[in-house]
Structure 1
Amino acid sequence: MASTASHQSSTANRQWRLRNRPVGIVDGDTFELTECPVPQPREGEFCVRLIFLSLAPVMRAYIVDGGVIEERLPIGSVMRGRGVGEVIASHHPGFAVGDIVHGPFGWQDYAISDGSGRVLKLNARVGSSSLALGALGLTGFTAYFGLFDIGRPTAGDQVLVSGAAGGVGSVAGQLARIAGCRTVGTCGGRDKSRWIVDALGYDAAIDYRGADLASAIREALPDGIDIYFDNVGGALLEAAIDHIRNDGRIVVCGSISQYLSGEDKRGPSNYFDLVYRNARMHGFHIYHYENRFREAEERLATWIEEGRLAPAEDRRSGFETMPEALRGLFESANFGKCVVQIGDDPLA
């Protein structure tokens, strides 16, 4: 017999479903809001009431071409995405009512899971459950493994982070500071440039919208770049390669500048410069580190408790705002990890 939380009250499950594939940024015709009954778990399953839903630029790839490792989302399907929620009913021995879990639950109020598909429990309780989508979830884990395992920072290294005001970038820059590095971030607009310095502790900021990239990098990092944490790709990646130091490391994490480019996707034209500088460019995918997620969660939680890591969160409210919030990522509207709250948070 399933255990069930007493506070479950809604009988409707709202869902955002894919209606059309966008050309360019997502718009009002991309998704359709629907409702269905709240699902009930069968043997070996549990039901999650979603509290926060995550937004990331790669979501556009899910609905256009699937991205690198995902299949393209079929028309009519619930929009793909991670969320964090509370288990409210369970027929699963590994998940109890009251557990806070995060996983690929989709854009909906309630989801059924059997625990597969990389559903994780939030073990560290150092703040809102939304941290499971940010600093204490895949976003934080990506910054952690990308910087420490691939970037391999040492004190005094000169670090450049692109997309510094985004989810991963806002964590990566702070971790580089913890490692004793000098950190410079790129972002769009004067407000964000001030914010990453004042709120995140970056030593300097480069506004890519108003700057000649080569000149701006030379001014901010006159001795060159030891580690470039790349979330953007495109022209910024090429500019970073031009300024990489001997034995430099480029962490290839994302390529938001290419997500809207259609067929015009290309690699850096100056990649062979890495040979002359004995530098390396290393891509990675976060799920390859799945057996070490607990390590990352514990270390990140410790730094949060010590006040050395400040989770940066751009929180919206209301299930109906999901498409608009996704669009905002491509308009550089977010400051930190973008999440949308759709339910009450028991950890608040």
Structure 2
Amino acid sequence: MAGKLIMHAVQYDRYGGGTAGLKHVEIPVPTPNKDEVLVKLEAISLNPVDWKMQKGVMRPLFPHKFPYTPGTDVAGEVVGVGSDVKNFKAGDKVVAILSLATGGGLAEFAVAKENLTVARPPEVSAAEGAGLPIAGLTAHQGLTQSAGVKLDGSGKQANILITAASGGVGHYAVQLAKLGNTHVTATCGARNIEFVKSLGADEVLDYRTPDGAALKSPSGRKYDAVIHCATGIPWSTFEPNLSANGKVIDITPGPISLLTFAIKKLTFSKQQMVPLLVTRDGENLDYLVKLVKEGKLKTVIDSKHPLSKAEDAWDKSIEGHATGKIIVEP
């Protein structure tokens, strides 16, 4: 039945083209496989990976085929379930991560794997939930797995630097880091300094000032770990600011960062470059949703755009100056 229904979606059918390459189309509502749920979408959040894939940054891996409906981070209401689905039924409010390979987010309906779908309590709005998957999991995994921060506060004191702290990943990273036993130094533009302090950062640097560009802690601390959410900062800028065993966790590793990672490994350096590739994880996503419910984590929303004007959201993401998350609403 569902396969015969038609929905509105936004797609692109080739690499490149930017916002002009997006097309508004009418396509069949997808049918869930046996391990999937069909979700009527209420909010979708964009991530830089969405437009980078369109540029061809991840070819030949993603997308698997054209036309492609971008977007992986969604929230909405379950309206259908596959035969093997045990934990969800029609009417349940959820947050889900879709596959990068097949996408599907910029649409009125999407199918999601049951194991990458989590319940969304009434205290968490669709937009707050949709912001979490990629950005929240990246921040969470960078801090807990790569930097070794214990979010229950039980670990030893650590000094953490978070670059681009007002962005999607950065604003979650500041809040999560402060749940651990950490002193957080953050960088952002001048207009966001008070905002980043309000998230809990202990000291904030304007990246355009000499000290900000040099990443120097105002209190003279060396960093045990850097959650690096900006781009274009060379290793030589990080090195003098790191503690003896300091790590730079790069959430958008490019060729230079991968080369630095290899050199540091080969030379047995105690200071390390750590490329982070986020793992889609339903359990961690559920943990983040619960933190939002408890008021310990918030999704800051930069802007909301109707699906009919998804191009505006796409443009805003490409510009790279969003404060928090960019949301599209069907």
TM-score (norm 1): 0.76
Tell me the percent identity: 19
Count of paired positions: 314
Q: Check whether the contact 1:14–1:109 (CA below 8 A) recurs between aligned residues.
A: yes
2:314 matches 1:316? no
CA–CA distance in 2 between the matches of 1:309 and 1:87? 25
- Structure 1 residues 35 and 93: alpha-carbon distance in aligned structure 2, compared to 1, 3 A threshold: same
Q: Does 1:286 align with 2:278?
A: yes
Gaps of 5+ in 1: 5-10, 259-264, 343-348
2:101 match: none
Question: Displacement, 1:151?
Answer: 0.5
- What's 1:266 paired with? 256
Could you tell me how far 1:132 is from its partner in structure 2? 3.2
Q: Is the 8 A contact 2:164 2:187 kept in 1?
A: yes
- Report the residue type matching 1:197 in the other structure: K
Provide closer, same or farther for how the CA distance between residues 177 and 112 of structure 1 changes in structure 2, counting only shifts above 3 A: closer
Q: Deviations over 1:242-299 (max 9, x none)?
A: 31110112222225xx6xxxxxx53388776796862222223332x73xx425633x
- When normalised by structure 2's length, the TM-score is 0.80
- Greater shift, 160-169 or 97-106, is seen at 97-106
Structure 2 residue aligned with 1:103, among 88, 97, 112? 97
Per mean C-alpha deviation after superposition, the further-off stretch among 123-132 and 270-279 is 270-279
The alpha-carbon deviation at position 52 of structure 1 amounts to: 0.9
Structure 2 partner of 1:146? 142
**Aligned counterpart for 1:248 among listed residues 242, 246, 249:** 246
SS of equivalent residue, structure 1 residue 186? strand
Cα displacement string for residues 317-343 of structure 1 (whole angstroms, at most 9, x for unaligned residues): 30023222122123233111222222x
Aligned counterparts of 1:245 and 1:229: Cα–Cα separation in 2? 14
What is the match of residue 64 of structure 1?
Answer: 55
In the alignment, structure 2 segments of 5+ residues that lack a partner are: 99-103, 150-154
Do the aligned partners of residues 164 and 214 (structure 1) sit closer, same or farther apart at CA in structure 2, a change above 3 Å counting?
closer
**Aligned mates of 1:322, 1:125 — CA distance in 2:** 26
Q: Give secondary structure in 2 for the equivalent of 1:335.
A: coil
Alpha-carbon shift at residue 230 of structure 1 (Å): 1.3
Per-residue CA distance 1:65-98 (angstroms, 9 max, x = gap):
2528942454433235332222213353414211
Cα separation, 2, equivalents of 1:127 and 1:53: 14
Please say if residues 161 and 183 of structure 1, whose CA atoms lie closer than 8 Å, have aligned partners that are also in contact: yes
Distance 1:39 1:152, change over 3 A: closer
CA gap of 1:19–1:213, structure 2 versus 1, over 3 A, is farther
Is residue 227 of structure 1 aligned with residue 221 of structure 2? no
83-92 vs 222-231, which deviates more?
Answer: 83-92
Can you list the C-alpha shifts for 1:193-245, whole angstroms capped at 9, x where unaligned? 221113x121222232x223676522535222111011224225542233111
Counterpart-to-counterpart distance in 1, 2:29 and 2:191? 42
Q: Which residue of 2 aligns with 1:7?
A: none
Conserved 8 A contact 2:124-2:293: no
